[in-house]
């Protein structure tokens, strides 16, 4: 990714304005989705496919002593019961830490899978699962990370910690001594369920004795492929993952994709027949890995001129039973702990600890919603202490081009946050509303306005693999076939890729067809997460298209005996800039390539432009670039019931070049509602490791009537030089900022600050009552 | 047991078990896969079909409840091959979908709404859609798609 | 046994074409059969094995069981009348507006297109939203079996959570709602703005004459083992000035009458507090002042 792709592209296009990129096109998946022919994993129904039902531990911590399959095998229709000893390869699906078996002999969370029942139909599979007799030796269990640190109970032999991270920049201790204002608070954030409409599913189809095709709900076909191969004891090349349409991911199918595909494959290969597993909604809620709860102790110090000089942060994360992605989000939270501000002295220490709760894993924001809740609440508290307006205070400390982050990464460009904050504040009439709500007559409903700023590094956290591939093929008839390793999970990224390819090749958007994700025809492209689909995946697309385009330029230059630099491609035609009458249609040019033996296809491959921070000091460049967000929220709270209504959201993003404006807007709207849910109505209720509300009835995601008024999206296009067209990522940034803004708005409305999420109505009600009883006035 | 009804205008006759839901019947026996199983207990709307023009949860109906004169509509029935209905055009134009899983339910609910109320207000749209969950879009562009569909249906552009 | 939804159990199905036939089937199968009306509660519960049934008796083919008719003693609403139909009915809107109000914020349109009033009452969730309105209207239900019919006041119908006085061989065939002049209102508290179960629900009916409450009735849902009438509040306000002070005092009293539980939706204490808040609000709506607030 060392090439300055933005510049390359602009040069190639002779500085002309884009014809495709930045416009609104019909997404490549639109037709299939609105006509209902789009197939998701569970739609690949095959007549002879076996059905699978897991047998799960009812205990949070227990050793599996014996599994009696006899009664289950007697159920008509049941063909096999698979347990740990039947795993042909390595019984290991650990994501970053090798601590997680696919079929376990020691249950570490309620729902840990100990066996699979495979049957000819769904009903028999359920009955078979009921009849598998498992003898457990129950062990004492731990559900609280603080307790886990003190306890002798070992969930894993190798460590109590699933992850640790440390950041040291400057000298925070020393700096605090010179601060005029210091605020230190402890924050707690709850879990959250992805609650996407499509439950997890996978179907595995044997294609030979040592080969399988798997169609499953995954956000990472290549990791999935590798994990399946590992479990089977095969090579990567022997497993093919064909990714279907995905009905919502948000990170949930990132961690869970490999798991569900392994289950299907084990069954299919054991019996030599296609096998399908589809989770029920209950399973999806009760057993799929969710957002990790954080406890954050955050200390901020500033001088009286309003400059934040130091922060000291300690965060403790409940990793749950297996590490899965804890390394990632514990580190990401640390790298972003400063918030969008330049702070010279930073100390962060974080750890994720094993408990017998459900493993916590990837979810939109990935540690940032938690950490930035603390950071942005602190900023408001500091502003209060310094008697400064919250927006003014943020502007005074915001990152600018040339700033260094908490990990000492130099951000020399693509830093649009300051401009963004100002624009969003203007759009929201911040000063006016802040004054208005601050002085409204006190009735039973109170309003407030608050601001939240977010940032999110684009790219995979925690380890060095952050690459992507793409393939562009010009067919003899001039149509273009494009393939990527990035998955379409609803975010429209593959359309962005196709647009960028079309722009570079100078053809109409409709000329590019995006093919199905097939791991067999694409280099490993990493995961579809962490806002990397466009900035890294898309740059691979541009890489391929550029290489191909340059080759075509050379061919044309030879044909016309002109300079390569004078060759222009526009609207499906190629012409000589110096002598425009010299033209050839793209179709004819394609044919020429074949006739002349000029390779008509190209692969792109990009490795993200970033390093791997020092393990002791956390200093380094963990991400290629950062997207910035700022949301202002207006809320109304009902003092008699504690209900918090979000009246209006004014979102803004600085995400580099926006490839698809309408799609970016859609992302932001969706993220706004996700944030609203996280901040107000969504609670994961647990007792001793068991989820108490595993249904849409009791896990409340916002309905259409819970919508606030959404203001027009504010956009700052702070282009990133090293990505195709200067795009960064936009999939998570608007979600992260939303709950922060809501919490700060609630403070103005109520005069009470909450230090834990969510701000659910009971909690708010009792806090109001407590305040009244203590006689304080707001 | 035998069940007979009209699906998207065509007569269907099949043998079914009495304990098969209409949802499973449509998906597994007839491969009508546009009807989705999001929760299988009536909470999400992904399994929405139109029964005699009214939106209902197909996961809460037994296939055997269908009678000969009952008309079941799914998204497949909204357009002729090669031609799209105005509702589908509107959802395309206004980006009324992202992952697409809730989309068939949303489109059918739109049809039911516009057939009863050709010029719905935003409030009326929200009333009609309150039982259809979407996790991706935040609903904004769905509302815009419904309004656009109303425009197209009325012949305005 | 794994919880959650699984394929329906193997069961038999009959679809009688007359009420007489249905009642005979009920008698024949007694506890082993369940009637299927809207299915919006029965089907999920069967899937989750919360209810067992060997036979499902589909009532949907029986003519004459649905419909809303005005008779001398009030509105007669047939058992199989869909909630959506009740909501659309001008008769209901005019003669029993509080019922219309409650249905409007209950469940969601696709559920209401199939769910029936009888079903909502027979399912007997303590949080059934149609119950408080019908209780304040002094509604009754007609229960029938092969031996005959009986009419039971709704206030005597509920026995406990999911438990009513309906015998296993009886069917609820009609709800009778007396029509009376007065103000009425329904409010519910939910954890989100739509398509949600009530944390607390209240309904009130009153005539206000000369500024005083006449014939005040108050009912609450989701705060006791059954939907209840709050006799204490009614007695305290009967004949009294319909003013803020009296209402506030009465709203405090309601806390003694409710018996809420703590569950995933709310704690006991919160429900108790909210029963008071919403009692005050709903009484304020029927005392002659604010009438147009949204119900949720």
Which residues in chain A are contacts of B41 at CB distance < 8 A?
A: 281, 695
Q: C154 with C191, same domain?
A: no
Residue C93 within any structural domain of the chain: yes
- What's residue B156's pLDDT? 58
Distance from CA of B66 to the nearest CA of A (A): 23
Q: Considering Cα of C289, then C291, then C292, then C296, what sign does the dihedral take?
A: positive
Residue C284 within any structural domain of the chain: yes
Mean pLDDT, chain A cut into blocks of 10 residues (778 residues total): 90 94 96 95 95 98 98 98 98 95 98 98 96 98 96 95 96 97 98 98 97 98 98 98 97 96 98 98 97 97 97 98 95 97 98 97 96 98 97 98 97 96 98 94 92 96 86 98 96 97 97 95 94 95 97 96 94 94 96 97 94 92 96 97 98 97 96 97 96 97 97 97 94 96 97 96 97 75
Query: Using an 8 Å Cβ cutoff, are A264 and A203 in contact?
Result: yes
Interface contact C108, partner B, CB < 8 A: yes
Which residues in chain A are contacts of B90 at CB distance < 8 A?
A: none
Interface contact B138, partner A, CB < 8 A: yes
Among all residues of chain A, which has the CA nearest to that of B74? A36
Q: C190 with C210, same domain?
A: yes
Among all residues of chain B, which has the CA nearest to that of A34? B88
Domain, as residue range, for C257:
183-295
Largest CA distance in chain C: 62
Which band of pLDDT confidence, cut at 50, 70 and 90, is reported for residue C294? very low
Q: Where are the alpha helices (DSSP H) in C131-266?
A: 131-136, 231-237, 244-257
In this structure, what DSSP letter does residue A391 have? Answer: H
- What's residue C295's pLDDT? 55
Query: Using an 8 Å Cβ cutoff, are A67 and A134 in contact?
Result: yes
Q: C232 with C133, same domain?
A: no
Domain of C77, CATH number, reads 3.30.465.10
Distance from CA of A126 to the nearest CA of B (A): 15
Taking Cα atoms as reference points, which of B39, B44, B50 lies closest to residue B75? B50
Q: Report CB contact under 8 Å: C192, A681.
A: yes
Domain, as residue range, for B8:
2-77
Mean pLDDT of B6-21: 97
Of B44, B77, B110, which residue is a domain's last? B77
Q: B53 with B8, same domain?
A: yes
- What's residue A360's pLDDT? 96
Q: B110 with B72, same domain?
A: no
Q: Report CB contact under 8 Å: A250, B135.
A: yes
For A194, the enclosing helix (H) or strand (E) is none
- What's residue B125's pLDDT? 98
Chain B contact probe: residue of A33, A243, A675 with most B CBs at under 10 A: A33
Query: Using an 8 Å Cβ cutoff, are A93 and A101 in contact?
Result: yes
CB-nearest partner of C114 from B60, B126, B127: B60
Of B30, B51, B77, which residue is a domain's last? B77
As for the ipTM of the complex, it is 0.97
Query: Using an 8 Å Cβ cutoff, are A107 and A322 in contact?
Result: no
Q: B49 with B99, same domain?
A: no
Residue C5 within any structural domain of the chain: no
Residue C63 within any structural domain of the chain: no
Interface contact A245, partner B, CB < 8 A: yes
Listed by number, the residues of chain C in 63-102 with a beta carbon closer than 8 Å to a beta carbon of chain B are: 84
β-sheet bridge partners, residue A299: A184, A312
Number of domains in chain B: 2
Number of domains in chain C: 3
Of B45, B77, B109, which residue is a domain's last? B77
- Look at residue C100 and give its three-state secondary structure: helix
Q: C223 with C257, same domain?
A: yes
Domain of C41, CATH number, reads 3.30.43.10
Sequence-distant (≥ 6) Cβ neighbours of residue A584 within 8 angstroms: A556, A559, A573, A574, A575, A592
- What's residue C148's pLDDT? 96
- What's residue C117's pLDDT? 96
Residue C96 within any structural domain of the chain: yes
* Parallel/antiparallel/unpaired status of strands C171-177 and C183-189: unpaired
Q: C46 with C85, same domain?
A: no
Of C40, C58, C76, which residue is a domain's last? C58
Q: What does the alpha-carbon distance between residue A286 and residue A410 come to, in Å, rounded to a whole number?
A: 43
Residue C3 within any structural domain of the chain: no
- The percent of residues in chain C predicted with pLDDT above 90, rounded, is 94
Q: B120 with B63, same domain?
A: no
Please give the distance of CA A639 from its chain centroid, rounded to a whole number.
35
Of C125, C142, C177, which residue is a domain's last? C177
Tokens of A587: 């179709």
Q: B101 with B57, same domain?
A: no
Query: Using an 8 Å Cβ cutoff, are A200 and A253 in contact?
Result: yes
Domain of B124, CATH number, reads 1.10.150.120
Q: B69 with B7, same domain?
A: yes
Q: What does the alpha-carbon distance between residue A748 and residue A448 come to, in Å, rounded to a whole number?
A: 5
Distance from CA of B20 to the nearest CA of C (A): 7
First to last CA, chain A: 54
Q: Report CB contact under 8 Å: A704, B38.
A: no
Which residues in chain A are contacts of B38 at CB distance < 8 A?
A: 197-199, 281
- What's residue A776's pLDDT? 58
Q: B66 with B95, same domain?
A: no
B149 Rama sector, left if φ>0, alpha if ψ -120 to 50, beta otherwise:
alpha
Does pLDDT of B80 surpass 90? no
For B108, the enclosing helix (H) or strand (E) is helix B103-116
Does pLDDT of B108 surpass 50? yes
Residue C89 within any structural domain of the chain: yes
- What's residue A528's pLDDT? 95
Q: Report CB contact under 8 Å: A35, B76.
A: yes
Interface contact A703, partner B, CB < 8 A: yes
Q: How would you list the strands of the sheet with B71-73, edge to edge?
A: B10-15, B2-7, B71-73, B48-51, B54-57
Q: Report CB contact under 8 Å: C2, A640.
A: no
HSE-CB at A92 with a 13 A cutoff on CA atoms is: 11
Among all residues of chain B, which has the CA nearest to that of C109? B128
Interface contact B45, partner C, CB < 8 A: yes
Residue C2 within any structural domain of the chain: no
Taking Cα atoms as reference points, which of A255, A376, A375 lies closest to residue A315? A375
**Buried/exposed code over A11-32 (b: 16+ C-beta within 10 A; e: otherwise):** ebbeeeebbbbbeebebbbbee
Chain A contact probe: residue of B44, B101, B109, B123 with most A CBs at under 10 A: B101
Per-residue pLDDT of C206-241, as tens digits, reads: 999 999 999 999 999 999 999 999 999 999 999 999
Q: C242 with C142, same domain?
A: no
Q: B65 with B110, same domain?
A: no
Give the number of A-C residue pairs with CB atoms closer than 8 Å. 63
Q: C77 with C156, same domain?
A: yes
Q: B29 with B91, same domain?
A: no
Q: B48 with B7, same domain?
A: yes
Does pLDDT of C292 surpass 50? no
DSSP code string of A557-597: HHHHT--GGGEEEETTEEEETTEEEEEEEHHHHHHHHHHHT
Query: Using an 8 Å Cβ cutoff, are A123 and A66 in contact?
Result: no
Domain of B10, CATH number, reads 3.10.20.30
Using a CB cutoff of 8 Å and minimum separation of 24, what contacts does A580-587 make?
A584/A556, A584/A559, A585/A478, A586/A478, A586/A505, A586/A506, A586/A507, A586/A511, A587/A477, A587/A478
Q: What is the value of pTM for the model shown?
A: 0.96
Q: C187 with C169, same domain?
A: no
Per-residue pLDDT of C38-67, as tens digits, reads: 999 999 999 999 999 999 999 999 999 999
Chain A contact probe: residue of C5, C105, C193, C261 with most A CBs at under 10 A: C193
Query: Using an 8 Å Cβ cutoff, are A164 and A344 in contact?
Result: no
- What's residue C293's pLDDT? 45
- What's residue A7's pLDDT? 95
Q: Report CB contact under 8 Å: A34, B84.
A: yes
């Amino acid at each position: 990714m060392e090439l300055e792709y933005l510049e390359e592209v602009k040069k190639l296009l002779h500085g002309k304005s884009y014809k495709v990129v930045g416009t609104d096109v019909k997404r490549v998946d639109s037709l299939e989705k609105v006509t209902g022919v789009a197939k998701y994993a569970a739609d690949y129904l095959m007549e002879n496919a076996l059905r699978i039902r897991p047998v799960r531990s009812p205990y949070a911590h227990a050793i599996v002593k014996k599994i009696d399959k006899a009664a289950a095998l007697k159920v008509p229709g049941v063909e096999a019961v698979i347990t740990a000893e039947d795993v042909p390869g390595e019984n290991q699906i650990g994501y970053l830490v090798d601590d997680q078996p696919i079929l376990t002999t020691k249950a570490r969370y309620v729902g840990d899978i100990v066996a699979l029942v495979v049957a000819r139909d769904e009903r028999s599979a359920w009955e078979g699962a009921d009849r598998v007799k498992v003898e457990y030796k129950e062990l004492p269990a731990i559900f609280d990370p603080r307790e886990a640190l003190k306890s002798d109970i070992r969930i894993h032999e190798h460590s109590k910690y699933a992850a640790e991270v440390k950041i040291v920049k400057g000298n925070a201790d020393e700096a605090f001594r010179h601060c005029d204002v210091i605020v230190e608070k402890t924050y707690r954030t709850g879990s959250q369920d992805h609650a996407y409409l499509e439950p997890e599913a996978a179907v595995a189809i044997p294609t030979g004795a040592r080969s399988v095709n798997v169609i499953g709900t995954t956000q990472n076909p290549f990791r999935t492929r590798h994990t399946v191969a590992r479990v089977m004891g095969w090579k990567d090349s022997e497993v093919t993952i064909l990714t279907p349409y995905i009905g919502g991911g948000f990170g949930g199918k990132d961690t869970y994709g490999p798991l569900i595909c392994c289950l299907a494959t084990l069954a299919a290969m054991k019996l030599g027949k296609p096998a399908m597993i589809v989770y029920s909604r209950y399973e999806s809620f009760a057993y799929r890995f969710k957002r990790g709860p954080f406890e954050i102790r955050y200390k901020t110090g500033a001088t009286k001129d309003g400059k934040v000089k130091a922060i000291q942060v300690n965060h403790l994360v409940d990793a749950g039973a297996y590490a899965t992605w804890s390394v990632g989000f514990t580190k990401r939270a640390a790298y972003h702990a400063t918030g969008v501000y330049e702070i010279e002295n930073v100390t962060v220490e974080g750890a994720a600890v094993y408990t017998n709760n459900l493993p916590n894993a990837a979810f939109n924001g990935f540690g940032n919603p938690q950490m930035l809740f603390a950071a942005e609440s602190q900023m408001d508290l500091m502003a209060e202490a310094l008697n400064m307006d919250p927006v003014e205070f943020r502007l005074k400390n915001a990152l600018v081009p040339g700033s260094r982050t908490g990990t000492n990464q130099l951000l020399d460009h693509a830093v649009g946050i300051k401009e963004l904050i100002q624009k969003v504040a203007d759009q929201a009439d911040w000063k006016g509303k802040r004054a208005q709500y601050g002085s409204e007559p006190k009735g039973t409903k109170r309003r407030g306005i608050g601001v939240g700023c977010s940032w999110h590094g684009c790219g995979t956290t925690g380890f060095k693999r952050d690459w992507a591939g793409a393939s562009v093929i010009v067919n003899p008839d001039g149509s273009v076939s494009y393939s990527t390793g990035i998955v379409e999970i609803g975010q429209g990224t593959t359309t962005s890729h196709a647009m960028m390819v079309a722009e570079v090749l100078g053809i109409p958007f409709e000329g590019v067809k995006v093919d199905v994700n097939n791991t067999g025809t694409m280099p490993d492209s990493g995961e579809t997460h962490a806002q990397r689909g466009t900035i890294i995946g898309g740059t691979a697309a541009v890489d391929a298209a550029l290489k191909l385009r340059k080759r075509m330029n050379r061919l044309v230059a030879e044909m016309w005996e002109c300079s390569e630099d004078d060759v222009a491609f526009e609207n499906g035609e190629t012409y000589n800039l110096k002598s425009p009458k010299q033209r050839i249609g793209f179709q004819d040019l394609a044919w020429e390539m074949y006739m002349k033996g000029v390779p008509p296809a190209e692969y792109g491959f990009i490795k993200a432009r970033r390093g791997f921070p020092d393990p002791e000091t956390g200093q380094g460049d963990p991400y290629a670039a950062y997207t910035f967000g700022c949301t202002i929220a207006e809320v109304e709270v009902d003092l008699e019931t504690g209900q918090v209504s979000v009246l209006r959201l004014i979102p803004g993003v600085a995400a580099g070049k926006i490839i698809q404006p309408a799609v970016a807007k859609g992302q932001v709207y969706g993220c706004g509602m996700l944030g609203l849910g996280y901040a107000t109505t969504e609670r994961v209720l647990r007792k001793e490791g068991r989820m108490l509300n595993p249904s849409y009835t009791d896990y409340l995601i916002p309905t259409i009537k819970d919508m606030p008024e959404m203001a027009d999206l504010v956009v700052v296009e702070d282009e990133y030089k090293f990505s195709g067209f200067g795009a960064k990522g936009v999939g998570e940034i608007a979600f992260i900022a939303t709950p922060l803004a809501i919490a700060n708005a609630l403070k103005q409305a109520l005069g009470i600050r909450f230090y834990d999420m969510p701000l659910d109505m009971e909690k708010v009600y009792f806090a109001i009552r407590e305040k009244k009883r203590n006689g304080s006035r707001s | 047991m035998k069940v007979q009804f009209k699906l998207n205008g065509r007569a269907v006759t099949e043998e079914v078990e009495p304990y098969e839901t209409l949802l499973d019947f449509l998906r597994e026996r007839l491969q009508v896969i546009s009807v989705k199983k999001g929760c299988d207990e009536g909470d999400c709307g992904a399994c929405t079909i139109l029964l005699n023009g009214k939106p209902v949860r197909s996961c809460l109906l037994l296939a055997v409840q269908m009678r000969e004169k009952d008309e079941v509509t799914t998204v497949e029935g909204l357009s002729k091959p090669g031609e799209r209905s105005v509702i589908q055009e509107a959802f395309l134009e206004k980006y009324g979908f992202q992952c697409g899983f809730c989309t068939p339910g949303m489109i059918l609910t739109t049809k039911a709404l516009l057939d009863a109320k050709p010029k719905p207000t935003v409030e009326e749209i929200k009333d009609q859609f309150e039982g259809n969950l979407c996790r991706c879009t935040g609903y904004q562009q769905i509302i815009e798609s419904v309004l656009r569909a109303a425009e197209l249906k009325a012949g305005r552009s | 046994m794994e919880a959650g939804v699984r394929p329906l159990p193997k069961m038999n199905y009959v679809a009688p074409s007359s009420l007489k036939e249905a009642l005979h089937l009920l008698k024949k199968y007694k506890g082993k059969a369940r009637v299927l009306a809207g299915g919006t509660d029965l089907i999920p519960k069967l899937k989750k094995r919360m209810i067992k049934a060997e036979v499902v008796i589909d009532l949907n083919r029986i003519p004459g069981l649905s419909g809303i008719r005005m008779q001398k003693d009030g509105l007669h609403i047939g058992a199989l009348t869909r909630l959506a139909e009740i909501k659309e009915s001008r008769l209901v809107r005019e003669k029993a507006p509080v019922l219309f109000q409650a249905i409007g914020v209950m469940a969601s349109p696709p559920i209401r297109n199939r769910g029936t009033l009888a079903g909502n009452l027979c399912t007997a969730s303590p949080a059934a939203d149609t119950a408080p309105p019908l209780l304040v209207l002094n509604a009754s239900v007609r229960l029938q079996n092969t031996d005959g019919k009986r009419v039971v006041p709704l206030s005597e119908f509920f026995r406990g959570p999911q438990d009513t006085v309906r015998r296993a061989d009886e069917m609820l065939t009609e709800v009778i709602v007396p029509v009376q002049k007065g103000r009425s209102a329904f409010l519910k508290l939910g954890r989100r703005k739509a398509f949600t179960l009530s944390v607390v629900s209240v309904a009130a009916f009153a005539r206000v004459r000369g500024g005083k409450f006449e014939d005040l009735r108050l009912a609450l849902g989701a705060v006791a083992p059954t939907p209840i009438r709050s006799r204490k509040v009614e007695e305290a306000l009967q004949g009294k000035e319909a003013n803020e002070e009296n209402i506030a005092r009465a709203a405090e009293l309601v806390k003694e009458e409710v018996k809420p539980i703590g569950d995933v939706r709310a704690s006991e204490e919160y429900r108790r507090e909210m029963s008071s808040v919403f009692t005050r609000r709903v009484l304020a709506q029927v005392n002659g002042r604010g009438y147009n607030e949204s119900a949720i």
